């Protein structure tokens, strides 16, 4: 971790020709690699996100910016950057923090980090499924509280994952498929709903069904859709009510995909047995109601937080910037739909 007390660090300040603002400290490995890119000057921020005022001030006159999902990249940002800005590289596969229309108006290329975090995100999803089903967090807290206990046949009984439980995946993209692979290895039946796949069974053994059938059938529903106007609050009171009684919900996508108030009501009524949430509606604020329910497991948006994965994400963002500033095609551009 960088221990500098300056508000920024300059890496490789030798005869800079292209100036890149990096809004957050990247991983150590990739930060060290910045020094080898001659002809580029990288001004790197701190571990914590910059304030809005700092972000707008620092990006002024840059050729490129590397940002994360904590930075809102909008008309005001592009206006503050000015006409020199060619590319904004998001260190995330999701890009709901970026106004693509504003980027297009300013002629700025936007890139994200698809493909390098599928395994890590699916691992985390599956860790949450196991934690929920087998009540790992509840049981861990129970022992940490120093309670008296003796083994009993009714103690912390949960879902038999590998005895015919059905996983329902909403959004069968790269991450959804990686989650399906893990579920199949645990002998789960895997069904998915995704408008881009025809109904039937995929080569990976995933049965594509309608969303209604998925919600009515799955013991565990996991969400892997991007946050778009069409997916905002996809899981609201109506869709949660369509879920099989006693089922679980897992969200490692974006907080805005779930109506948290409706989710809490579904847990309190006993309709759902539990939920695991990695991303929150008002992130980084976490609704305290979520924290007071033992059936809800929470993690702080860490689904892709594997060491090598985070290096790959940061490196891909840097490589996208280098490509665009060198006049080459970006590796992973985000295309406005």
Name the site residues for ligand GLV (rule: CB under 6 A).
Answer: 69, 92-94, 117, 304
Closest residue by beta carbon to ligand GLV:
94
Positions annotated as catalytic residues are: 254, 283, 301
Closest distance to ligand GLV from the beta carbon of 128 (Å): 14
Closest distance to ligand GLV from the beta carbon of 94 (Å): 3
Closest distance to ligand GLV from the beta carbon of 92 (Å): 3
Q: Which is nearer to ligand GLV, 90 or 193 (CB)?
A: 90
Q: Which is nearer to ligand GLV, 117 or 277 (CB)?
A: 117
Residue 94 CA to residue 46 CA, distance in Å, equals: 22
Closest distance to ligand GLV from the beta carbon of 117 (Å): 6
Q: Which is nearer to ligand GLV, 120 or 263 (CB)?
A: 120
Q: Which is nearer to ligand GLV, 69 or 161 (CB)?
A: 69
Burial 51-69 (b: 16+ CB within 10 A, else e): eeeebeebbeebbbbbbbb
């Amino acid at each position: 971790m960088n221990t500098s007390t300056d508000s920024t660090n300059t890496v490789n300040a030798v005869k800079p020709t292209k100036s890149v603002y990096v809004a957050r400290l990247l991983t150590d490995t990739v930060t060290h690699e910045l020094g080898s890119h001659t002809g580029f000057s990288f001004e790197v921020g701190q571990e914590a996100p910059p304030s809005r005022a700092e972000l707008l001030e620092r990006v002024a006159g840059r050729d490129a910016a590397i940002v994360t999902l904590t930075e809102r990249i909008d008309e005001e940002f592009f206006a503050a950057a000015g006409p020199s800005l060619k590319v904004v590289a998001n260190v995330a596969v999701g890009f709901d923090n970026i106004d693509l229309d504003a980027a297009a108006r300013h002629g700025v290329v936007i890139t994200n980090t698809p493909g390098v975090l599928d395994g890590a995100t699916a691992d985390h999803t599956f860790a949450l499924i196991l934690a929920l089903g087998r009540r790992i967090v509840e049981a861990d807290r129970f022992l940490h509280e120093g309670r008296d206990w003796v083994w009993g046949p009714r103690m912390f009984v949960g879902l038999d994952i590998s005895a015919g439980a059905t996983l329902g995946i909403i959004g069968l993209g790269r991450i959804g498929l990686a989650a399906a692979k893990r579920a199949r290895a645990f002998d789960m039946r895997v069904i998915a709903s995704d408008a881009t796949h025809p109904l039937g069974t995929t080569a990976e053994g995933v049965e594509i069904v309608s969303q209604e059938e998925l919600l009515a059938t799955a013991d565990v529903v996991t969400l892997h859709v991007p946050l778009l106007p069409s997916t905002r609050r996809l899981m609201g009171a109506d869709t949660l009510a369509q879920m099989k009684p006693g089922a679980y919900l897992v969200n490692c996508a974006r907080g805005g995909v779930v109506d948290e108030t409706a989710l809490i009501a579904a847990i309190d009524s006993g309709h759902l047995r539990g939920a695991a949430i990695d991303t929150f509606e008002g992130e980084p604020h976490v609704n305290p109601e979520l924290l007071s329910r033992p059936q809800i497991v929470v993690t702080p948006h860490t689904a892709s937080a594997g060491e090598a994965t985070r290096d790959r994400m940061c490196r891909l963002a840097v490589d996208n910037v280098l490509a665009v500033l060198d006049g080459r095609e970006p590796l992973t551009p985000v295309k406005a739909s």
